[in-house]
A and B are shown apart, each in its own frame.
Chain A
Amino acid sequence: MTAVTLPETGTATGMRRLGATVAPGIAYWFAAPSVLLLIATLLVPIVVVIGLSFTDYELGALGLSFLGFDNYAELAKDPTFWRSLKNTAYYTVLVVPGSVLIALALAVVICDLSRGRWFYQIAFFLPVTSTLIAMATVWKYLLHGTIGPVNHLFAAVGLPRMEFFGDPTLIMPALAIIGVWQLMGFNMVLFIAGLTAIPADLYEAAAVDGIDRPWERFLTVTLPLLGPTTLFVVVTSSITAFKVFDTVAVLTHGAPQGASDVLLYTTYLEGFQYLRIGPAAAMTVVFLAIIMVLSLLQTRILERKVHY
Chain B
Amino acid sequence: MLAHPLLQRLGITPREMVLHAILLTGVFVTLFPFYWMILTSVRPAQEVFSAGFTWLPQAFVGLDNFAAALAQAPLLRFMLNGVIICSGILVVQLLTAIPCAYALAKFEFRGRELLFAMTLFALCVPIQVPALPLYVTLAYTGTLDSYFALMVPFFLSVFAIFLFRQVFKSFPDEIIQAARLDGLSEMAILWQIVVPSAGPAIAAFAVFSVTAHWNDLYWPLIVVTSKELAPPPLGMMYFADNETGANFGALMAAATLLTAPLMIAFLFAQRHFIRGVTMTGVK
A55 CB, nearest partner CB in chain B, Å:
12
A67 at the interface (CB under 8 A from B): no
Complex Cα–Cα for A31 and B259 (A): 37
A135 to B16: give the CA distance in the assembly, Å.
32
Q: A147-B49, A288-B129 are in contact. Are A18 and B99 (CB under 8 A)?
A: no
A residues 1-43 touching B (CB-CB < 8 Å): 1, 3-4, 15-16, 18-22, 24, 26-31, 33-35, 37-38, 41-43
Are the C-beta atoms of A181 and B30 separated by less than 8 Å? yes
Most buried by A among B53, B99, B104, B274: B274
Contact of B20 among A28, A116, A288, A298 (CB under 8 A): A116
Say yes or no: is B246 at the interface (Cβ < 8 Å to chain A): no
A233 to B280, CA, bound (A): 11
Contact residue among A24, A26, A34, A126 (Cβ-Cβ distance under 8 Å from B266)? A126
Distance of A153 from chain B, by nearest CB (Å):
7
Cβ-defined partner of A49 (8 Å) among B104, B130, B237: B130
Kindly state the separation between the CA atoms of A245 and B216 in the bound complex, as whole angstroms: 11
CA distance A26 to B187 in the complex (A): 9
A31 pairs with B282, CB closer than 8 A: no
Name the B residues within 8 Å of A20 (CB-CB).
Answer: 106-108, 173, 176
A127 within 8 A of partner (CB): yes
Chain B interface residue bracket vs A: 35 or more
CA gap between A170 and B217 in the complex, in Å: 24
Q: Decide if A149 touches B53 in the complex (CB within 8 Å).
A: yes
A62 an interface residue at 8 Å Cβ cutoff?
no
Whether the Cβ atoms of B40 and A246 lie closer than 8 Å is no
Closest to A294 in B: B124
Q: Report B-chain residues with C-beta under 8 Å of the C-beta of A181.
A: 30, 33
Task: Bin chain A's interface residue count.
Answer: 35 or more
Give the docked Cα–Cα distance between A153 and B215 (Å): 31
A113 within 8 Å of B (CB atoms): yes
Given contacts A134-B258, A272-B222, contact A41 B99 (CB under 8 A): no
| Closest residue of A by beta carbon distance from B265 | A129
Q: Are A31 and B104 in contact, with the CB atoms below 8 A?
A: yes
Report the minimum CB–CB distance from B169 to chain A (whole Å): 10
Interface residues of B (CB under 8 A from A): 11-12, 16, 19-20, 22-23, 26-27, 30-34, 36-37, 40, 48-49, 52-53, 95-97, 99-100, 102-104, 106-110, 112-113, 115, 118-120, 122-126, 128-136, 139, 152-153, 155-156, 158, 161, 172-174, 176-177, 180, 186, 190, 211, 214-215, 217-218, 221-222, 232-233, 236-237, 240, 248, 251-252, 254-256, 258-259, 262-263, 266-267, 270, 273-274, 277-278, 281-283
24 contacts between A and B (CB under 8 A): A19-B172, A20-B108, A24-B108, A27-B112, A30-B102, A110-B23, A122-B267, A123-B27, A125-B274, A129-B211, A129-B266, A130-B262, A131-B262, A137-B251, A141-B252, A142-B32, A190-B282, A194-B281, A249-B218, A250-B236, A272-B135, A277-B132, A288-B129, A291-B124
Contacts A147-B49, A250-B240, A295-B124 aside, 15 further interface pairs with beta carbons under 8 A come to A20-B173, A24-B107, A27-B112, A42-B122, A42-B156, A44-B133, A115-B11, A122-B270, A131-B215, A131-B258, A134-B233, A149-B53, A152-B53, A193-B282, A291-B126
